[in-house]
Amino acid sequence: MPESRTRKSAEEKQKLKAQQASKPKKIKAPASRRWVPPAFITVGLLGVAWLITYYVAGTYIPFMDALGNWNILIGMGGMAAAFVIATLWR
């Protein structure tokens, strides 16, 4: 017949508590995410402003005219980057 488990004595319990208390607990530094809302609003608005400028006056601005349809990718990329930044907000 198998033996039953033996209970730990009070001294053993105290030793375990002392070992647990002696171990330093890792404290995680609070991650400040205060920069996220201004960053994603700014990047998103820059993407929208780029698209609006391209559609309204793109042919009159030399570097935008040279970029051609890449301006759409730049504007949409700014808005996509704003979405990625927004997912970091806690």
What confidence tens digit (pLDDT) does each residue in 49-74 have?
A: 999 999 999 889 999 999 999 999 99
- Residues 55 and 64: beta-carbon distance below 8 Å: no
76 close to 47: Cβ distance less than 8 angstroms = yes
| Residue 77 belongs to some domain of the structure | yes
Q: How many residues does the chain have?
A: 90
Q: Which residues contact 60 (CB under 8 A, 6 or more apart)?
A: none
Q: What pLDDT is attached to residue 26? A: 72
Residue 79 falls within a domain, yes or no? yes
Residue 55 is part of which domain span? 36-90
**66 lies in a domain?**
yes
Give the chain's domain count: 1
> Is 55 a member of any domain?
yes
In a domain, 10, yes or no: no
Q: How far is CA 65 from the centre of its chain?
A: 35
- Spatial separation of the C-alpha atoms in residues 46 and 39, rounded to whole Å: 11
Single pTM value for the model: 0.63
Q: Which residue has the higher pLDDT, 6 or 78?
A: 78
Interior angle at CA 39, CA 35 and CA 84, nearest 5 = 105
50 domain-assigned: yes
pLDDT band at 4 (very low <50, low <70, confident <90, very high): low
